[in-house]
């Protein structure tokens, strides 16, 4: 007999920050796993670890809801995303944050990036977390420039570059 998690645990409240991964984990049922469960534990998931592309580690212990395992992590991500404003744009991808900054000139870009990183670092310290400098990546794009044709000169088009 297949049972849904809503039959195994109290209904879970969803929020806009929950991802498709959370929805997938919430819909797991006992028959999705081949286990030899004792009759007394029939109808409950028992000591099952769930991994998805090595990014999510969720546990089901004796019918405990997935939200209990992920709620603290989701709350941290929600708090970090609240830093978004006119100059700071963060996106969450699984357990990673992506920061997008911009500037007309290099100095402005550098200033905006440093201010955003300082803001993120202060929030992480407040949450007792730390920024992993070993996992950082930087991508920089420059805009498409088109110089209009003047007289006999050929137009120059510079494509965006990735650094």
For residues 99-109, average pLDDT = 82
Which residues make Cβ contacts (< 8 Å) with residue 41, sequence separation at least 6? Answer: 62
Strands 89-93 and 156-158: unpaired
How far is 75 from 73, CA to CA, in rounded Å? 5
Q: Over the stretch 40-55, which tens digit does the pLDDT of each residue have?
A: 444 444 445 555 445 4
Half-sphere exposure of 4 (CA within 13 A, CB side): 8
Alpha-carbon Rg for the chain, nearest whole angstrom, is: 24
Residue 88: pLDDT band (50, 70, 90) is confident
For residues 133-162, average pLDDT = 58
Comparing 151 with 158, the larger pLDDT belongs to 151
pLDDT for 60 equals 47
Q: pTM here?
A: 0.46
The percent of residues in the chain predicted with pLDDT above 70, rounded, is 40
Q: Where are the alpha helices (DSSP H) in the chain?
A: 5-8, 20-26, 66-81, 106-126
Q: Over the stretch 120-144, which tens digit does the pLDDT of each residue have?
A: 889 888 988 877 777 777 776 665 5
Please state which of the ranges 8-17, 60-69, 86-95 shows the lowest mean pLDDT. 8-17
Length of the chain: 163
């Amino acid at each position: 007999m297949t049972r849904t998690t809503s039959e195994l645990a109290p209904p879970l409240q969803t929020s806009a920050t929950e991802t498709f991964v959370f929805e997938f984990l919430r819909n797991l049922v006992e028959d999705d796993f081949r286990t030899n469960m004792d009759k007394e534990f029939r109808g409950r998931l028992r000591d099952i670890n769930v991994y998805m592309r090595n990014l999510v580690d969720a546990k089901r212990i004796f019918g405990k809801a997935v939200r209990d395992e992920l709620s603290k992590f989701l709350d941290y991500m929600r708090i970090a995303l609240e830093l978004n404003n006119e100059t700071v744009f963060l996106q969450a991808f699984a357990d990673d944050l992506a920061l997008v900054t911009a500037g007309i000139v290099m100095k402005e870009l550098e200033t905006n990036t440093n201010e955003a990183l300082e803001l993120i670092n202060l929030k992480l310290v407040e949450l007792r977390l730390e920024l992993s400098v070993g996992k950082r990546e930087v991508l920089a794009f420059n805009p498409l420039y088109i110089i209009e044709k003047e007289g006999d000169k050929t137009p120059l088009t510079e494509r965006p570059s990735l650094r």
